Structure 1
Amino acid sequence: MEEIYVNPANKTSIKKHTGPWRRKRSIYLVVILSLGLLAGLLTRAFCWSNELSSMTEERDLLKANLTEMTNELERLQSLFNQKKTCPAGWSKFSCSCYLLSESSDSWHSARKHCTDQGADLVVIDSPKEQDFVTSFTQKETWIGLNDIEQEGTWKWVDGSPLTLQYWAPHQPDDLLLSEDCAHIRYQGTSWNDERCENSLQWVCEKLL
């Protein structure tokens, strides 16, 4: 389809194309703009992908460095502990020193004997420590566990609550209504509650 345009100045006529050609030109413009927009989006997505890849590499590098630092710290700690020794008569386990008393006394007196030496009654917080302590206790032996403040609420002498437990069957039973201190049973590994006034051996513990 054509339109004829007459120039008033010189009376000449110009043919002006309309119809399908104009529609095609509009489609071409839309396609070109769409391609430009798509190219921009692809470029931006590529940049984001590179940035994400870079961040992932940095994260992995930091993780590797942290693991290496942790291993080195553990190695240095191990060397440090190896060089540290316990006082004469004390036994070393992990990062602590332990002493089994030769005499017997009440729970409170036993604790004072320990604190006078910069220690306290033993706090057992791992299965390995339980095995270690019971490996050298052959008699009833006080440990640093009691429910003196509140009946039934057992706490260690360092204030930590009781989580790991090695009570004998049906213990603690507070049989005499005043069994507020815990001990390792005779020639055994389990615990029992007992009157704090009873006279037993004890185990002291202090950090290296």
Structure 2
Amino acid sequence: MDLEDIYQNVEHRDIVDTTGPQTLNHRQDEGKDQKHRGSRCLVLMTVCLGIICVLLLIFIIVQHIFITAERESLFKSYKNTVEEFNQTISRLQHNYTELMTEKDQLKNNFSSLSQKKLDGLFISNVSMSWSESRKYCRDRGGDLVIIDTEEKQRLISSLFKERVWIGLTDIEKEGKMKWVDNSPLNQKFWKEGEPNDANGKEDCVEIKSSCTSSELKNWNDLPCSEKRKCICEK
């Protein structure tokens, strides 16, 4: 082997020995870089996850605060509504009590007034003609009843459910009705179609009430000779 071959072999070994370690170091550096990048990614993911958790926690807290506030607001509103409702009930109960008291007072006043008006009224036991009825009343210190107000008409119609004579007639002058005290007829409570002076003989007036009727207009003219009970008034 000549000197040139030996020199080339030595040079070749030097190149092999020098290149091998450099390649190994390069690979190690790449591995370190990858590990470093992996660590950075892990840290970044951890930070992002932490931020998400914090945001989620903040959202839960805010939502809880909002729900609590809304619940308190609804509770206060409900409480106020209940209080107003109770106050309204109390006022209605108070008003109802006052109305019932007033009703009882009015009822008592009406009963007292009605009794006073009834004190002078009485009805005959038997049926008679109009003239006989008037004599019956006058013999007892009164006369046939005069009805000159709606109140009196309602009272008599509600109490006497019979066909009875009243103190109204046009015997003296046909078509000119007068009361037994010669006062003119102002308030009128004729039944429909009355007075009609049927056959020219109906000169006296009755109340034509019935047990099933409470109508206000119930006067009827008929012949004075008809037999009816009568209402007298002192």
TM value normalised by structure 2: 0.47
Could you say if the C-alpha distance between residues 164 and 202 of structure 1 is closer, same or farther in structure 2, counting changes exceeding 3 Å? same
Residue type of the partner of 2:193?
H
Residue type of the partner of 1:129?
K
Offset at residue 133 of structure 1 (A): 1.0
Secondary structure in 2 matching 1:176: helix
2:230 matched to 1:202? yes
Residue type of the partner of 2:219?
W
Residue type of the partner of 1:115?
R
2:130 matched to 1:107? yes
Which residue, 199, 219, 223 being the options, matches 1:191? 219
CA contact 1:92–1:98 (8 Å) conserved in 2: no
CA contact 1:107–1:198 (8 Å) conserved in 2: yes
Higher strand proportion, which one?
Answer: 1
Deviations along 1:55-78, one digit per CA (max 9) or x if unpaired, are xxxxxxxxxxxxxxxxxxxxxxxx
Unaligned runs of 5+ in 2: 1-111
Q: 2:121 is matched with which residue? A: 98
Secondary structure in 1 matching 2:159: coil
In 1: Cα distance, 2:232 partner to 2:115 partner:
12
- Structure (1 or 2) with the larger CA radius of gyration: 2
The count of corresponding residues between Structure 1 and Structure 2 is 117
In 1: Cα distance, 2:118 partner to 2:219 partner:
24
Could you say if the C-alpha distance between residues 186 and 134 of structure 1 is closer, same or farther in structure 2, counting changes exceeding 3 Å? closer
Residue type of the partner of 1:114?
C
Offset at residue 100 of structure 1 (A): 1.2
RMSD of the TM alignment (CA)?
Answer: 1.8
Residue type of the partner of 1:198?
E
**Identical-residue share of aligned pairs (%):** 40
Secondary structure in 1 matching 2:232: strand
Could you say if the C-alpha distance between residues 116 and 203 of structure 1 is closer, same or farther in structure 2, counting changes exceeding 3 Å? same
CA contact 2:157–2:209 (8 Å) conserved in 1: no
Which residue, 120, 124, 131 being the options, matches 2:154? 131
In 1: Cα distance, 2:200 partner to 2:149 partner:
29
2:201 matched to 1:178? yes
Residue type of the partner of 2:131?
H
Offset at residue 96 of structure 1 (A): 5.7
Q: 1:118 is matched with which residue? A: 141
Deviations along 1:113-157, one digit per CA (max 9) or x if unpaired, are 000011000000111111111112212100000000000000000
Higher helix proportion, which one?
Answer: 2
